[in-house]
């Protein structure tokens, strides 16, 4: 059955046209690219993202340093977690000693319910400003997997759109050819003259 449905485009017969062969090759190429190309594109994009993000995190760890800061004020009492289970955080004032020996203060996001005087780890840059912590390994992997997945899905979408465009073009050409052939054949069948 499969040979009857798909194989007629590959075999020589009087009904096969050049557009049928083009369509058959397009289906084959799209099928191979869907099975092989899209996963490879996703894997390549994911690995590239992983390498870049890991290099950025390593460079950040080399230029940033972790400092123990002391929370100056209490944060609001424990608040129910968000629907995703993530605990809410609030801006709070912290104090730490900079590399030049001066005491500095700044606002950082701290989980709810933390009492004043608690020690908190913060990351500072070369000018002793508080900055975001370097990406953890799990965050790097999440970013790489997301980029890889979306690249693979984007490749699949692009291939399917290209296949649709080719299919419409081939169908249009096939209908034009059938109309031309019918215009030549129809007068002999119906004994009508144009």
Per-residue pLDDT of 36-69, as tens digits, reads: 999 999 999 999 999 999 999 999 888 888 888 8
Mean predicted lDDT score pLDDT of the chain: 84
pLDDT at 1 over 80: no
pTM above 0.75, yes or no: no
Asked if 56 and 135 count as a contact pair (C-beta separation under 8 A), the reply is yes
- Edge-first strand order for the sheet with 119-124 is 103-111, 89-97, 65-71, 119-124, 130-131
Q: Reduced to 3 states, what is the DSSP secondary structure of residue 89? A: strand
Q: What is the pLDDT of residue 98?
A: 85
Per-residue pLDDT of 131-147, as tens digits, reads: 888 889 999 999 999 99
Q: What is the pLDDT of residue 88?
A: 74
Q: What is the pLDDT of residue 32?
A: 94
What DSSP state is assigned to residue 17?
-
- Residues contacting 188, CB < 8 A, separation 6+: none
Per-residue pLDDT of 70-123, as tens digits, reads: 888 777 776 665 666 666 777 888 888 888 888 888 888 887 777 888 888 888
With b meaning 16 or more CB within 10 Å and e meaning fewer, what string describes 95-110? ebeeeeeeebeeebeb
pLDDT at 22 over 60: yes
Q: What is the pLDDT of residue 79?
A: 61
Q: How many CA atoms lie within 13 A of 84 on its CB side?
A: 3
């Amino acid at each position: 059955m499969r040979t009857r449905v798909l194989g007629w485009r590959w075999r020589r017969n009087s009904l096969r046209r050049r557009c049928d062969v083009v369509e058959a090759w397009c289906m084959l190429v799209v099928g191979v690219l869907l099975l092989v190309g899209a996963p490879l594109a996703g894997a390549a994009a994911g690995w590239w993202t992983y390498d870049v993000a890991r290099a950025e995190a390593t460079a950040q760890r080399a230029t940033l340093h972790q400092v123990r800061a002391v929370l100056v004020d209490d944060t609001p009492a424990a608040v129910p977690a968000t629907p995703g289970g993530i605990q809410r955080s609030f801006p709070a004032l912290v104090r730490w000693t900079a590399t030049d020996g001066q005491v500095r203060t700044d606002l950082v996001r701290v989980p709810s319910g933390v009492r004043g005087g608690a020690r908190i780890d913060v990351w500072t840059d070369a000018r002793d400003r508080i900055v975001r912590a370097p990406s953890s390994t799990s965050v790097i992997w999440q970013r790489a997997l997301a980029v890889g997945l979306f690249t693979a899905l984007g490749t699949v979408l692009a291939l399917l759109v290209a296949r649709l465009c080719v299919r419409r073009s081939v169908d249009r050409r096939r209908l034009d050819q059938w109309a031309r052939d019918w215009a030549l054949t129809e007068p002999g069948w119906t004994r009508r003259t144009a």
